[in-house]
Amino acid sequence: MPVMSFSDIAIVSCGTLSLELNFLKKEGFLGIVPFYFTTPGLHEDIHELERQLINRIQAAKEKADKVIVVYGGKFCYVNADNPTRTMQTIIEEQGPGVARIQATHCMDMIAGEIEREAIAREVAGGEKVWWMTPGWIQFRHKVFKGWDRGLANENFPRHTGGAIVLDGIGFMDGYMAQNPEAFLEYSDWMGIPIVPYSVTLDRLKSLLLEQAQRFHPDRPG
């Protein structure tokens, strides 16, 4: 993995990815880059998402010259009232010092589409899968705020391959050991099995490096 300094960069991210980003900071990949997190699960409330996102970007600008936004483009912000207003529109409005990593949602930041297809074939025989990251487990009640069992029954069982958690931080082993009843209750509420799958964070690293390199094309990377 190429080395790139994030010394003049701040990161604004959906809180769902806070586990992975803090892991990367702890292992030294991101140095002391400041983080600014929005509340997990705001794809359910796009107006609050937009408010928090702009607020966090403005706060980040006070600490760093450049800001990388860790948010998906296609699925994280869908404005039914104004379909032409997209996540990319919001980012562009924040100025040239702000850039977003190129991924469609948090699962795509951990494993790309081709890798997810391969995992689905391996684990679920190619059946339709509900993808999650550890944040969807840790922040369940925020990510699924307002969901009752009826809404869960409408959405999850159609994913006949179950739910797969793309775990790049070794989260699930500890969670299942420490919270077995909560894990089983979560699976029961979804109506499908939840299966952890170990991956690396190489894709997330490469997406972050790509934007850092855009800010600093003169640096090795």
Domain with CATH 3.40.50 in the chain: 9-106+201-215
Domain 9-106+201-215 has CATH 3.40.50: yes
Q: What is the mean pLDDT of residues 147-161?
A: 94
Question: At a CB cut-off of 8 Å and minimum separation 6, what does 150 contact?
Answer: none
Q: For the residues 77-94, what does the mean pLDDT come to?
A: 88
Residue 2 has pLDDT above 60, yes or no: no
pLDDT recorded at residue 213: 92
Question: What confidence score (pLDDT) does residue 75 get?
Answer: 80
Instruction: Kindly state the average pLDDT of the residues 68-86.
Output: 87
Q: How confident is the model over 4-22, as a mean pLDDT?
A: 93
With a pLDDT cut of 90, the percent of the chain lying above it is: 80
Work out the average pLDDT over 130-140.
97
- With a pLDDT cut of 70, the percent of the chain lying above it is 97
Give yes or no for residue 93 having a pLDDT over 90.
yes
Helices (H), the chain: 18-26, 46-61, 87-93, 106-110, 113-124, 134-138, 140-143, 149-155, 171-178, 180-190, 202-215
Q: Is the pLDDT of residue 47 over 60?
A: yes
When pLDDT is averaged across residues 184-204 and rounded to a whole number, the result is 97
Q: What's the average model confidence in pLDDT over 154-182? A: 96
* Averaged confidence pLDDT in the chain: 93
Contact (CB, 8 A) for 14 and 59: no
Residue 117 pLDDT grade (very low, low, confident, very high; cuts 50, 70, 90): very high
Q: How far is the C-alpha of 162 from the C-alpha of 183, rounded, in Å?
A: 14
pLDDT band at 130 (very low <50, low <70, confident <90, very high): very high
**pLDDT above 80 for 221:** no
As a whole number, mean pLDDT of residues 174-195 equals: 96
